[in-house]
Amino acid sequence: MADAFLKVERLARAYVPGGDPVFEEVSFAIERGEFICIIGHSGCGKTTILNVLAGLDTASSGHCFMEGREIAGPSLDRGVVFQGHALMPWLTVEKNIAFAVKSRWPEWPRGAVAEHARKFIELVGLKGAEQKKPSELSGGMKQRVGIARAFAIQPKMLLLDEPFGALDALTRGTIQDELLRIVQATHQTVFMITHDVDEAMLLADKILLMSNGPRARIAEIVKNTMPRTRTRLTMHHDPQYYRIRNHLIDFLVTRSKAMQAAGENAAPLEVAPGPDDASPPTAGVPPLVRAA
């Protein structure tokens, strides 16, 4: 963990002095270029952790470091895409993105800003919609603008707070594909909150599983052993798909609740997925690589 791009060390957050923390002893590391998803039931503090990484919230204890420097506030080195699109309704698509670009590079002339904005508009498939305002866009298009805006400032890390949660399944799938394509092309480091197991399996290199709150923690770090060339249409044919998926669902449905019932001092459960965890059979598939 010493040389990791981002380090989180013993993070805890309590909203009431002296009360139970929402989460505690949260530690993990992210390497440069990794895509990390975090999954857990509502109330375990996922969004709070993301906000601390973004510099928008402060932990009660613990530390977060990016490239060896402690995170102490917001920075354009960290781009954020929220559940809502958070666009300025009086500005066009191009100007919403240009506003972020100008914030990042205030010395750039207007033409360079516009050209840079248009590059990322095309990257998310919105060419032709540059002069439309948010009220003229569908929900999926608005989220594309938010993603384009985050990528346009070329952050060192991208933080995504369930950005596709409100979208219909078809639109969600299309934007997942776009995000995966862009991340693979740019080698972007990503930390993403999701409740969707299949979304995590499609996008993430590693999946952090949080126990239930209060006093939630990172219970497991599951490595996605499917190849990075996976797609939505093909990944369920991979013999490792059901093994990983069933392991994640078993945690969310059963083991996360067992941890909560066991109390705050319960040790992390070290349950390795076996052949019985998967259907169809997965003979010859290597075990998951994971750490508590």
Number of domains within the chain = 2
51 with 143, same domain: the answer is no
99 with 160, same domain: the answer is no
Contacts of 172 by beta carbon, 8 Å cutoff, 6+ apart: 140, 164, 199
The answer as to whether 280 is a domain residue is yes
User: pLDDT at residue 290 above 60?
Assistant: no
- Decide which of 94 and 143 is more confident: 94
Q: Is this structure's pTM higher than 0.75?
A: yes
131 with 250, same domain: the answer is no
In angstroms, the Cα distances linking 80 to 22, 88, 178, 272 are 22, 15, 17, 34
164 with 261, same domain: the answer is yes
User: pLDDT at residue 283 above 80?
Assistant: no
Binned at pLDDT 50, 70 and 90, residue 174 comes out as confident
- State which of 154, 178, 206 marks the end of a domain: 154
User: pLDDT at residue 264 above 60?
Assistant: no
Number of neighbouring beta carbons within 10 Å of residue 191: 25
The answer as to whether 10 is a domain residue is no
46 with 188, same domain: the answer is yes
Q: What's the pLDDT at 246? A: 93
User: pLDDT at residue 268 above 70?
Assistant: no
- State which of 134, 154, 174 marks the end of a domain: 154
Binned at pLDDT 50, 70 and 90, residue 270 comes out as very low
- State which of 154, 182, 201 marks the end of a domain: 154
The answer as to whether 208 is a domain residue is yes
Tell me the pLDDT tens digit for each residue of 213-255. Answer: 888 999 999 999 999 888 888 899 998 999 999 999 999 988 8
How many angstroms separate the CA atoms of 216 and 56, rounded?
20
Identify the CATH number of the domain in which residue 230 sits.
3.40.50.300
- Decide which of 286 and 211 is more confident: 211
Tell me the pLDDT tens digit for each residue of 121-144. Answer: 988 888 999 999 999 998 888 888
Q: What's the pLDDT at 229? A: 85
- Report angle CA 144, 184, 100 to the nearest 5 degrees: 40
Q: What's the pLDDT at 263? A: 58
User: pLDDT at residue 265 above 50?
Assistant: no
Q: What burial letters (b/e) apply to 90-105, b meaning 16+ CB within 10 Å?
A: eebbbbbbbbbbbebe
- SS3 call for 28: strand
How many angstroms separate the CA atoms of 290 and 208, rounded?
10
Domain of 113 in residue numbering reads as: 87-154
User: pLDDT at residue 26 above 80?
Assistant: yes
Q: What is the mean pLDDT of residues 72-79?
A: 90
Q: Which ranges in 131-240 belong to alpha helices (H)?
A: 139-152, 169-186, 197-203
180 with 204, same domain: the answer is yes
The answer as to whether 163 is a domain residue is yes
141 with 167, same domain: the answer is no
53 with 189, same domain: the answer is yes
How many angstroms separate the CA atoms of 219 and 260, rounded?
11
The answer as to whether 20 is a domain residue is no
Q: What's the pLDDT at 85? A: 73
Q: What's the pLDDT at 167? A: 75
103 with 226, same domain: the answer is no
User: pLDDT at residue 17 above 60?
Assistant: yes
User: Which residue, among 28, 2, 24, has the nearest Cα to 13 in the 3D structure?
Assistant: 24
- Decide which of 277 and 181 is more confident: 181
The answer as to whether 82 is a domain residue is no
The answer as to whether 269 is a domain residue is yes
- The beta strand positions in 34-95, using DSSP E, are 35-39, 61-66, 69-70, 78-81
229 with 109, same domain: the answer is no
The reply to whether omega before 163 is within 30° of 0 (cis) is no
How many angstroms separate the CA atoms of 219 and 217, rounded?
6
44 with 186, same domain: the answer is yes
102 with 160, same domain: the answer is no
How many angstroms separate the CA atoms of 11 and 148, rounded?
30
How many angstroms separate the CA atoms of 246 and 154, rounded?
36
The answer as to whether 129 is a domain residue is yes
Phi, psi angle pair for 96, to nearest 5°: -60, -45
Biggest CA-to-CA distance, the chain: 61
